[in-house]
Structure 1
Amino acid sequence: MSDLLLPEDGLLLHVGPHKTGTTAVQSAFFRGRRVLRKHGVTYPGRSRTPVQAVAGVVGNPPMTGDPEGSLRDWERFVASVPRRGRVVVSSEFFADAEGAAVERVVSDLGPDRVHVVVTLRALDRIAPSQWQQYVQNGKRSSLRRWLRGILLDRVPSRSGFWRRHRHDALVRRWADVVGPDRVTVVVVDETDRSSLLRVFEAMVGLPDGVLEPEQDRLNRSMTMPEVELVRALNREFRARGWDPRDYRRYVRLGVSRALKSVPPQPGAARVVLPRWAVARLHDVSQDVVAGIRASGVRVVGDLDSLVVGAPGSAGPENTARSAEIPADVAARAVAGAIEAAVVPQSGLKPMLRRVREMPPSEIVGRVLPRGRRG
């Protein structure tokens, strides 16, 4: 994969979209920052991904309970990006950028050095995960209602889902600004997830195996009962008029994390698309693949694997209207909320984990005043 290597001062801009291995990529780069520097690669920012800064330049509303991003947040992040050496910037929220926002991102990061990477999976894998993510951010729509909204709406472009996941349009938005020769589409290999990290290593000149997935940050999908429990909590939150900051603390960081902290029970009901939705995604995916192929961008992987297979007879005709929530799932959710209430959000364990990931120079810089360093 030597032909993938960026120029010495190139900036790899990973724009997602959501649910395409972004968390694994970001965690691997953030966790390996100290080693990356030895190879002349920088992953700027103080967290796994600069969500607030990107929201500020793209114009996205914040996630429920989070502070709003501003252009000042974006400008501070840009100021932290070195102008020499290879740099990696990754956020799935760049996939929401359109028009002037795309131009601003490229201009600020350096129009002569930016190379855009888009990671893609098949839409029938993305759609159930994206609905779950919306629910975990406070949405109350059932799977049935949400699918009808994105797949049967006469003007689907109004949907935030299609702004992110009409992948041919997403690729074209960035290619129109940086040029198709500086856009790479990476098709995720569902049989070998580690291959995604190997592609990123090749693009920035890292030896194989430097990037390692962080196991506790690999987002597993929720089961249907787990999603329905969170959706029920969302209705209660809205009905009671509770503070969005409490939603962030008790549901997003408490309940949802607790539910996903253990593997699902064998045989637990999964989120499954009905046959009519699969048929619709099959048609859309054919257009998407044709559009990407015609765009002239570089493709790594099997582009045809993005075509959703025709629905089989084994799939459900429609989605279930309700799901029984097992007692152990409910208990784990309650425990997560209680833990969020009694453990400070800036508790000792998260702090120690962050400290372990810092290079010594950064620890000294944060602990000692400038005049006492060394």
Structure 2
Amino acid sequence: MRKLTLHIGAHKTGTSTIQNWMYNHRQFLKENGVTPFFTANGKHTVQVNQTYYFNHSKIKQGVVTIAPNLAVNLKQCNEENVVMSSECFSWIHDREELAKLKSSLQPHFSSINILIYIRRQDRQALSHYQQRAKSWEAEGLYFSGENKAFPTLDENAQSYLDYYNHFAMWGDVFGDDNVTFKVFDRALLKNNCAVSDFLDVLGVPFTEKDVNVKDANTSLGLLNVKVAHILRDMGIKRHDPIFQEIINKLGESHVMLPSRKEAIDFYSNFKESNIALNERFNISTENEDIFAHDFSNYQETASDEWTEALANHALTTVLKVLLKK
């Protein structure tokens, strides 16, 4: 009775933290009956989100596909209880792509379970659009917009953030009973921790001592985000030494946020979709549209614009790096 769990994201819901913890605690998991899948070309890999199993070449058009060798390698993993985590699954918007994956895996696993963490859309968009600023190529091609807090709500952004149309298809393919949705809100997570919650869902026994984590891939401040957006739009990659030097020397600044009204208006585009998702998958009994309506972290006025002082500091920093002074 072999079991497979696919943790598919979504992006910016503690996935990097979970994946790093799983990789670093592979032996602990195996001792507790769970085998984390980190395999490429028959060898263990340290690229924990395993992007090499996904074809991102057409992501600008909203299309990502799954490499055939993923199913091949998963089938060859002989352990009884296997778990794979990759937020790259969350780029998939094609039901037929999922159907192909299921047909390849189903003969080899008695059950295939899908785990999805979802975040309120205004918070999701804020964090995911910042990922573009860090010059991750997928986000850089997928999202578009001004150098502000939110991306433009174009077809790609709508496709990702409309959770019913985006994620309900996993139930269409794998069966609703095999899909588990969890709300990514620290107040609702087990021990207020993504890893603890993940282990709890898997049924792995643990103590707080076992879960000693440091959040990975955290948000940047306004200076870093705005300058990074400009650098990546110029074609400068995040691994380029000049990119790294400029970003590292900018220093700390406040997190860029839209106004409270902008955030509420942004979220309102997805409320009906969330209601439909909740009615189908029974995610929340407290909120009809799944998420709490607390927007108090936003101020009345947006904080995603340059000030004279911040602009001068950013320009001075860039010039110093260029002039090496």
> Same fold per TM (> 0.5)?
yes
The aligned counterpart of 1:353 is: none
Task: Output the CA distance in 1 between the equivalents of 2:315 and 2:210.
Answer: 36
Letter in 2 for 1:17: A
Q: Deviations over 1:232-265 (max 9, x none)?
A: 2224337xxxxxxxx252169x6299649x9x74
Is 2:147–2:226's contact at 8 Å kept on the other side of the alignment?
no
Provide the TM-score with structure 2 as the length reference: 0.75
Q: Please state whether the residue corresponding to 1:114 is helix, strand or coil.
A: strand
Partner SS state of residue 324, structure 1:
helix
2:80 matches 1:85 = yes
Among 233, 244, 252, the alignment partner of 1:255 is 244
2:239 partner amino acid: R
The unaligned stretches of length 5 or more in structure 1 are 1-7, 151-155, 239-246, 339-374
Instruction: Give the conservation status (yes or no) of the 8 Å contact 1:274–1:318.
Output: yes
Query: Per the alignment, do residues 145 and 120 of structure 1 end up closer, same or farther by CA in structure 2, a change over 3 Å counting?
Result: closer
**Matched residues in 2 for 1:103 and 1:29: separation?**
27
1:172 aligns to 2:162 (yes or no) = no
Query: What residue is the counterpart of 1:346 in the other structure?
Result: none
1:35-54, aligned counterparts within 5 Å?
Answer: 35-45=28-38, 46-47=45-46, 48-53=48-53
1:18 to 4, 8, 11: 11
Residue 225 of structure 2 is aligned to residue 227 of structure 1 = yes
Change (3 A) 1:256 1:163: farther
Matches within 5 A, 1:30-109: 30-45=23-38, 46-47=45-46, 48-53=48-53, 55-56=54-55, 60-61=56-57, 71=67, 73-75=69-71, 77-82=73-78, 84-97=79-92, 98-109=94-105
Q: Using the alignment, how far apart are the partners of 2:150 and 2:122 within structure 1?
A: 14
Q: Deviations over 1:72-114 (max 9, x none)?
A: 54355434533x4111111111112121111122233337411
Cross-structure match for 1:189: 185
SS in 1 for 2:234: helix
The whole-number CA distance in structure 1 between the counterparts of 2:245 and 2:69 is 27
Structure 1 segments of 4 or more deviating over 6 A? Answer: 300-303, 310-313
Name the structure with the higher strand share.
2
One-letter identity of the residue aligned with 1:212: V
Which residue of structure 1 lines up, in the alignment, with residue 121 of structure 2?
A: 123
Q: CA RMSD in A?
A: 4.0
Report the identity percentage.
Answer: 17
Counterpart CA distance in 2 for 1:197 and 1:303 is 27
Name whichever structure is richer in helix by fraction.
1
CA separation of 1:255 and 1:318: change in aligned 2, threshold 3 A: closer
Query: Is the 1:17–1:165 Cα contact (8 Å) retained in structure 2?
Result: no
Q: 1:225 to 1:12 in 2, by over 3 A?
A: same
What SS does structure 2 have at the residue aligned with 1:237?
coil
Q: Tell me how far apart the structure 1 counterparts of residues 99 and 245 of structure 2 sit (CA, whole Å).
A: 36
| CA separation of 1:278 and 1:297: change in aligned 2, threshold 3 A | same
In the alignment, the residues of structure 2 paired with residue 290 and residue 16 of structure 1 have an alpha-carbon distance, to the nearest angstrom, of: 20
